[in-house]
Amino acid sequence: MSRAYLPVVVFIILSLAGQLFAADSVSVTANPWKIQFETGIGVTQAAYSDNWTGGEAGSIIWVAGFRGKADKQLMPSWWWGNELKLAFGQIHSQNKDTKEWAKPQKAADKIRYDGILRLTRGWVVDPYLSGIFESQFLDASGSKKRYVNPIDLTEAAGVARDIIKVPDKNVLTTRLGAGFRQHMVTMDDPADPDKTISETTNDGGLEWVTDWQLGSAKAKYSFVSQLTLFQALFNSRSDELNNDWKTVDMNWDNMLRANLTSILQVSLAWQLLYDKEISKAGRFKETLTLGVAYKFANFTEEKK
């Protein structure tokens, strides 16, 4: 088997581990899957007549998003959680002089799946295995369009603890463990732009992840925050790189949502990234969206 495919195999094994434990046990409980998701689209449009003065130009900005969670107590000692985040959007702008529309540019692009399997024995901390898949729908950074590129995989094992746990209202969880990451990218060959090359970088170290969720898909307001810190201890390309890879990487992802009506929703998302290998300054992204949304949850919120 090619070493390039080994991380993918490891990730699939981690993602399916919960099913394997469930299939091998005769004490699996009849607890149903707890599922919730929300999806929507927001559009901003502006247009001007040909005799409008001031040099304004028309534009259309649209962003579509999806966030879904599915978790299940597979058996008294095993809990499996899954979360999928998707987002894509484009900016269409008009030339202020010719009034011709330029090629669309990306406004948002995200693919992320998180899977975690926890051993729930009532101890002070819960041992866990986790897997993360991250990518984007469209990579237009090179001379050719590429899809689902690059790909980042993370596998981790360690201990987790629920600091606050009020189901479907307020959940604060933190986990610490050993993590292994693979960064796989296909790009233009610097020596010949007509050719492409593929590279895989592996590193490993310590991972600390803290998740905070207020409310649920059924609540009028909700807030979701995830802070990830990763300290690399080794890198497969350390001989080619400077010491920037030894710096702690940070990913702080947040989403605040409010339902104005049953289908009208406003959401504010912001993300702060720090990776010294990419930029010595932090990278910040913010998206404010007002649009239509659909929400689903197969549970009833507990009332105080």
pLDDT at 217: 73
In a domain, 304, yes or no: no
Residues in the chain, overall count: 304
218 with 301: CB under 8 angstroms?
yes
Q: How is 200-251 classified by DSSP, letter by letter?
A: EEEEEEEEEEEEEEES-TTSSEEEEEEEEEEEEEEETTTTTS-GGGGSPEEE
**Cα–Cα dist 111/125, whole Å:** 30
CATH of the domain at 83: 2.40.230
For 168, the domain range is 3-29+37-297
What percentage of the chain reaches a pLDDT higher than 90? 58
How does residue 26 score in pLDDT terms, banded at 50, 70 and 90?
very low
- The pLDDT confidence band at residue 144, using thresholds 50, 70 and 90, is confident
DSSP helix/strand/coil, 196: strand
Percent of the chain surpassing pLDDT 70 = 87
Per the domain annotation, does 243 fall within a domain?
Answer: yes
Instruction: List C-alpha distances in Å: 262 to 86, 259, 294, 301.
Output: 22, 7, 8, 17
Q: Would residue 91 count as lying in a domain? A: yes
Residue 69 inside a domain? The answer is yes
Q: Is residue 303, in this structure, part of any structural domain at all? A: no
Q: Confirm whether 200 is domain-assigned.
A: yes
The two tokens of residue 299 are 């549970």
Write the pLDDT tens digit of every residue in 187-230.
988 888 788 899 999 999 999 999 999 988 778 889 999 999 99
Q: What is the DSSP string of 121-168?
A: SS-SSEEEEEEEEEE-SEE-SSSS-EES-SEEEEEEEEEEEEEEEETT
Overall average pLDDT of the 49-60 stretch:
74
Look up residue 246 and give its two tokens. Answer: 């030894």
pLDDT at position 168 is: 77
User: Does the residue 109 lie in any domain?
Assistant: yes
Lowest average pLDDT, out of 77-86, 93-102, 250-259, goes to: 93-102
**SS3 at position 118:** strand
Number of domains in the chain: 1
DSSP annotation of 262 reads S
The alpha-carbon radius of gyration of the chain (Å, integer) is 22
Q: Given a cut of 50, is residue 238 above it in pLDDT?
A: yes
